[in-house]
């Protein structure tokens, strides 16, 4: 049988309730029985004193006067008085001779109480519990109060014994236990129902998440879990939905990536094949061959960049990308990259700023990988800079870090795109993108390389004005001491 979280919760709740039931019943039974016994003793003592006071007024100075006159009516009144309190009453003179008794089974008028009982009466005048020295065959609460002469409290004319059968713990404990058990079972039933409802509602989001996860496994990323609570389950559901959004976004980007790669491969290969075939079969004249060979060269370079990005992505995902750090001059890397983009910069009439300073900035990192970082940022800047705009570089060192920024004028990046711009396969609004064939890998590779160096990269933008990428690399453990301290800080 499948052990679900709901069933386990109910099982442990039920066990906990029964354990609490046993503990509570055991703890409550003892004080309750003691309270009942103490209450009965107090009541019995009070009744004994009341009876003694009544007999004192009825007897005056002579206890035997209780037998004179209409004794039958008096006996009936005594019996009724004792019966109303569910007790036995015995009246004896100071020597222990029984004068009146409401029970003839154990006490007969004219008989004498045992000497030890008489001695006990003369000493403290009260018993609390027992069999009255085997006069009774069961346990009784017994209260013996002296009967004093009416008007003279120093003259004892007899004793009044009031006895009531005890209810020992073993006699009425089961009844108390049953009453407590019924009450607690009723409460337990309510708790169990409430726990069941809570457990069902609490585990429902988990069941929904499990069902959604199964659909995710077959490629359906549309399922979401809607929970209104703000507890841990609500937080888990919110995190699950964020994960689902991320998976759906990644799946969409993956599909776009596959489509873009297919297009990126197919278009230049078709172009190259067409022009080569034209040259080979004579369709393209000798005079035109150089022109079309330049187009073929451009397409081959485009394929090369695509393959390079794919290789870099593969190494990043597999963890095979090695970082071999050395000291190198950042400006030299930037100059070599700009030479490769000289034609594009000239065609768009772009201004390049920030390289006028003669002071070199030395970075500690993998020269080839940082070359790829700056290359991707420069390519991105040229691509999105408006004609006649500018590309600006900045270098600085502070706090044990080397900072580089690449800024370009132009449309910039919208705020909703800025936070996702470094995600794998992410591209901004395709309808406004200047590079609709981009696969969304360049900035992802840039960020990954920077993070592998122990640094970080951020992006800033003001739509319609500029876009700036800033990254930093940690300095070497011991950097060249001959580096100048005054470096232009533009960040």
pLDDT tens track for 175-189: 666 776 777 777 777
354 and 419 assigned to the same domain: yes
Examine the pLDDT at 473 and tell me if it is beyond 60. yes
The answer on 459 and 339 residing in a single domain is: yes
Same domain, 292 and 344: no
On whether both 301 and 384 belong to a single domain, the answer is no
Average pLDDT in the 419-424 region? 80
How far is Cα 86 from Cα 166, in angstroms, rounded to an integer?
Answer: 11
Is residue 373 included in any domain, yes or no? Answer: yes
Do 116 and 80 reside in the same domain of the chain?
yes
- Does residue 378 form part of some domain? yes
**Is 198 contained in some domain?**
no
State how many domains the chain has.
3
- Which CATH number covers residue 277? 1.10.287.130
Q: Given the DSSP bridges, would you call strands 152-165 and 351-353 parallel, antiparallel or unpaired? A: unpaired
Asked whether the predicted pLDDT for residue 215 surpasses 60, the reply is yes
Q: Average pLDDT for residues 229-248, to the nearest whole number? A: 76
State the pLDDT at residue 72. Answer: 56
169, pLDDT greater than 60: no
Tell me the pLDDT band of 390, cut-offs 50, 70 and 90: very high
Highest-scoring range by mean pLDDT, 11-20, 227-236, 296-305, 399-408: 399-408
Q: Tell me: the pLDDT tens digits for 76-96?
A: 777 777 776 777 888 888 888
Quick one: pLDDT at residue 286? 83
Q: What percent of the chain has pLDDT over 90?
A: 12
pLDDT at residue 480 greater than cutoff 80: no
For 390, residues 6+ apart whose C-beta sits below 8 A from its C-beta are: 350, 351, 352, 353, 408, 409
On whether both 37 and 167 belong to a single domain, the answer is yes
- State the residue for tokens 């407590």: 180
pTM of the model: 0.44
Is residue 253 very low, low, confident or very high in pLDDT (cuts 50, 70, 90)?
low
Report yes or no on 391 lying in a domain: yes
Kindly report, residue by residue over 344-368, the tens digit of the pLDDT.
899 899 999 988 877 889 999 988 8
- Among 269, 288, 318, give the residue marking a domain's end: 318
Residue range 205-220: average pLDDT? 78
CA distance 350 to 382: 8
Which range scores top for mean pLDDT: 242-256, 267-281, 317-331, 441-455?
441-455
Last residue of a domain, one of 256, 286, 318: 318
User: Per the domain annotation, does 389 fall within a domain?
Assistant: yes
User: Who has greater pLDDT, 202 or 19?
Assistant: 19
Q: Does 381 lie in the same domain as 264?
A: no
- Low-confidence winner among 229-233, 293-297, 346-350 (lowest mean pLDDT): 229-233
When pLDDT is averaged across residues 425-432 and rounded to a whole number, the result is: 53
* 113-122, 170-179, 423-432: segment of lowest average pLDDT: 423-432
**Is 182 a member of any domain?**
no
360 is a domain residue: yes
Task: Quickly tell me which residue has 């396969």 as its tokens.
Answer: 425
Task: Decide if pLDDT at 171 tops 70.
Answer: no
For residues 240 and 103, membership in a common domain is answered with no
Domain that holds residue 260: 232-318
Q: Is the domain of 277 the same as that of 413?
A: no
pLDDT value of position 65: 76
pLDDT surpassing 50 at residue 147 = yes
Strands 88-92 and 152-165: antiparallel
Q: Kindly report the CATH number assigned to the domain that includes residue 394.
A: 3.30.565.10
- The answer to whether residues 277 and 420 belong to one domain is no
pLDDT band (50, 70, 90) for residue 328: very high
Q: What is the pLDDT of residue 71?
A: 54
Asked if residue 347 and residue 296 are part of one domain, the reply reads no
Sheet holding 390-398, edge to edge: 351-353, 390-398, 401-409, 466-474, 456-462
Instruction: Note whether residue 465 is domain-resident.
Output: yes
Q: Let me know how many helices (H) and strands (E) the chain has, helices first.
A: 11, 11
User: In angstroms, what CA-CA distances link 36 with 28, 47, 84, 136, 176?
Assistant: 12, 16, 19, 22, 11
Of residues 294 and 259, the one with the higher pLDDT is: 294
Mean pLDDT of the chain: 77
Query: Do residue 426 and residue 400 come from a single domain?
Result: yes
Range 32-45 average pLDDT: 75
Q: Taking 70 as the threshold, does the pLDDT of residue 431 lie above it?
A: no
Domain C-terminal end among 137, 171, 205: 171
| CATH assignment of the domain containing 114 | 3.30.450.20
């Amino acid at each position: 049988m499948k052990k679900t979280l709901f069933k386990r919760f109910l099982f442990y709740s039920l066990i906990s309730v029964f354990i609490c039931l046993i503990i509570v019943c055991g703890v409550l039974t003892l004080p309750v029985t003691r309270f009942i016994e103490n209450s009965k003793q107090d009541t019995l003592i009070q009744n004994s004193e009341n009876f003694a006071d009544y007999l004192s007024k009825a007897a005056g100075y002579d206890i035997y006067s209780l037998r004179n006159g209409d004794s039958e009516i008096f006996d009936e009144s005594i019996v009724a008085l004792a019966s109303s309190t569910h007790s036995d009453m015995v009246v004896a003179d100071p020597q222990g001779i029984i004068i009146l008794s409401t029970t003839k089974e154990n006490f007969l008028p004219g008989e004498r109480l045992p000497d030890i009982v008489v001695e006990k009466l003369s000493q403290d005048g009260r018993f609390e519990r027992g069999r009255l020295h085997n006069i009774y065959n069961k346990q009784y609460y017994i209260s013996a109060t002296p009967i004093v002469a009416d008007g003279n409290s120093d003259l004892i004319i007899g004793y009044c014994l009031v006895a009531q059968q005890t209810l020992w713990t073993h006699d009425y404990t089961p009844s108390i236990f049953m009453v407590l058990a019924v009450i607690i079972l009723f409460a337990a039933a309510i708790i169990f129902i409430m726990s069941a409802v809570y457990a069902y509602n609490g585990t429902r989001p988990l069941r929904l998440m499990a069902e959604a996860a199964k659909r995710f496994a077959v490629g359906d990323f549309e399922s979401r879990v809607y929970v209104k609570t703000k507890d841990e389950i609500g937080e888990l559901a919110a995190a699950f939905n964020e994960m689902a959004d991320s998976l759906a976004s990644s799946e969409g980007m993956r599909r776009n990536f596959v489509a873009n790669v297919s297009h990126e491969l197919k278009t230049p290969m078709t172009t190259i094949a067409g022009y080569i075939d034209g040259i080979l079969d004579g369709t393209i004249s000798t005079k035109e061959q150089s022109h079309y060979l330049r187009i073929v060269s451009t397409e081959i370079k485009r394929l090369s960049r695509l393959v390079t990005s794919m290789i870099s992505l593969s190494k990043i995902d597999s963890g095979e990308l090695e970082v071999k750090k050395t000291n190198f001059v950042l400006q030299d890397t930037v100059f070599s990259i700009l030479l490769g983009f000289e034609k594009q910069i000239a065609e768009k009439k772009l201004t390049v700023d920030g390289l006028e300073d003669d002071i070199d900035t030395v970075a500690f990192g993998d020269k080839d990988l940082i070359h790829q970082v700056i290359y991707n940022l420069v390519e991105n800047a040229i691509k999105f800079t408006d004609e006649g705009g500018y590309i600006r570089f900045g270098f600085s060192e502070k706090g044990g870090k080397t900072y580089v920024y690449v800024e370009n004028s132009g449309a910039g990046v919208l705020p909703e795109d800025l936070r996702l711009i470094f995600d794998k396969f992410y591209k901004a609004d395709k309808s406004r993108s200047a590079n609709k064939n981009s696969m969304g890998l360049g900035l992802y590779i840039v960020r990954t390389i920077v993070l592998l160096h122990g640094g970080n990269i951020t992006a800033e933008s003001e739509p319609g004005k500029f876009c700036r990428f800033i990254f930093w690399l940690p300095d070497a453990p011991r950097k060249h001491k001959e580096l100048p301290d005054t470096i232009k800080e533009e960040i």
